[in-house]
Amino acid sequence: MVRAFFLGRALASTVGEQVERTVTDALSSLGQFDAEQRETLRQFADEVIARADHDEAEALQNRPTSPGATAAGSAQPDLQATIDTLRAEIAQVRASLQQYRAASN
């Protein structure tokens, strides 16, 4: 009878340790996955912003300098509208990213 008591206590202790180890490993893996996803998202956002900045600089550099070079100035408003649209989209992405980071914390 005494032996059964000690076997039961040892079994409960061992099972408890195994459960604790398993939960700890699972939470560790989840934390690592979350950190990796945040880093991937940050890198993606940085890449998008860098490409947009590069494209914007390239577009501004290649624009015609003389007013007669455009079709009566019709290309200039389109370019500015495109730049404004891209800036608005970048702002939306940044806001969404900040909301995601705030929600994750």
Q: Tens digits of per-residue pLDDT, 1-52?
A: 889 999 999 999 999 999 999 999 999 999 999 999 999 999 999 999 999 9
**74: confidence class by pLDDT, cuts 50, 70, 90:** low
Residue-level length of the chain:
105
CA 41 to mean position of chain CA atoms: 2
pTM value? Answer: 0.45
Highest mean pLDDT: which range of 17-21, 53-57, 69-73, 96-100: 17-21
For 16-23, which contacts have Cβ atoms below 8 Å and span 24 or more sequence positions?
A: none
The domain limits of the chain are 2-61+73-104
What percentage of the chain exceeds 90 in pLDDT?
A: 50
pLDDT (0 to 100) of residue 76: 58
Nearest in space to 48 (alpha carbons), one of 90, 81, 103, 97: 90
